Amino acid sequence: MTSMLEKTVFFRATSEVCSLPKSTAEVIFSGRSNVGKSSVINALCSQKGLARISKTPGRTRSINVYSVAMKKWIIDLPGYGFAKVSPKVRELWKKMMEECIIERESKKVVCIIIDAFVGPTELDFDMAHWLSKYGIPFKIVANKCDKVFKDVAESDIKNKIVECFGIDKSNVFVVSAKKRRGFGKLQIDVVDFLMSSVDE
């Protein structure tokens, strides 16, 4: 079943949430700028150039929608906490994110991507609290685990995240988009989530 992710195609880029049609299920990727959201989407879908990645933070500037199957979407959002864009642009990105996550009625889960080396930041906790407040389920994906020192066990990174965010271990993933490592269970969960919803 997870092989269907390899057939994921770009669907649309927009800053107007209301212009998007209805979907039946969405997995939304959110996180600080440059944490590797777009890279994680590429690794998840075993594709190199699906989502555009960049060394410079602030690469993804609109809501990028990818279609895994009919009305089953993966969504890449602009990053939060990027200081180098103007307050006006930051406000616009925030509004886009809020509209995308809260105002759309679709069945959704958010993957908060954090940096495994840096660890969770205040902004990541704010995001988790905000999602909880609105009853939106979320997973934590700790990316760039290739940067973590070899003597730190993956289970330690996981346990720390479980403790910090107060979520179940089954919703925590430690991955490296660069090395394409750790994506097996996330692929299964994403496909299960997308395909378990009934088409309207």
Q: Which residues bind to ligand GTP, rule: CB under 6 A? A: 31, 33-39, 53-55, 57-60, 79, 143-144, 146-147, 176-178
Q: Which CB atom, from 53 or from 128, has the smaller least distance to ligand GTP?
A: 53
Q: Which CB atom, from 24 or from 39, has the smaller least distance to Mg ion?
A: 39
Measured at the alpha carbon of residue 112, what is the angle toward residues 69 and 145, in degrees to the nearest 5? Answer: 100
Q: Which CB atom, from 61 or from 71, has the smaller least distance to Mg ion?
A: 61
Minimal distance in Å, beta carbon 133 to Mg ion? 25
Span from 58-66, 86-94, 171-179, 186-194 in contact with Mg ion (CB under 5 A): 58-66
Question: Is the CB of residue 110 less than 8 Å from the CB of residue 137?
Answer: yes
Residue with token string 């759309």: 104
Minimal distance in Å, beta carbon 32 to ligand GTP? 7
Q: Which residues, listed in sequence order, are joined to residue 2 by a DSSP beta bridge?
A: none
Q: What is the DSSP letter of 186?
A: H
Span from 13-21, 36-44, 98-106, 184-192 in contact with Mg ion (CB under 5 A): 36-44
Minimal distance in Å, beta carbon 28 to ligand GTP? 13
Burial class (CB in 10 A: 0-12, 13-18, 19+), 121: middle
For the chain, how are helix, strand and coil distributed in percent, rounded to 5? 40, 25, 40
Among 38, 42, 176, 187, binds Mg ion (CB under 5 A): 38
Question: Is the CB of residue 23 less than 8 Å from the CB of residue 67?
Answer: no
Minimal distance in Å, beta carbon 148 to Mg ion? 21
Please say whether the dihedral angle defined by the alpha carbons of residues 16, 18, 20 and 26, taken in this order, is positive or negative. Answer: positive
Spacing of C-alpha 13 from chain mean position = 16
| Residue 176 contact partner, candidates ligand GTP, Mg ion, none, CB within 5 to 8 A by sort of partner | ligand GTP
Minimal distance in Å, beta carbon 135 to ligand GTP? 25
The residues of the shown chain that bind Mg ion, judged by CB under 5 A, are 37-38, 59-60
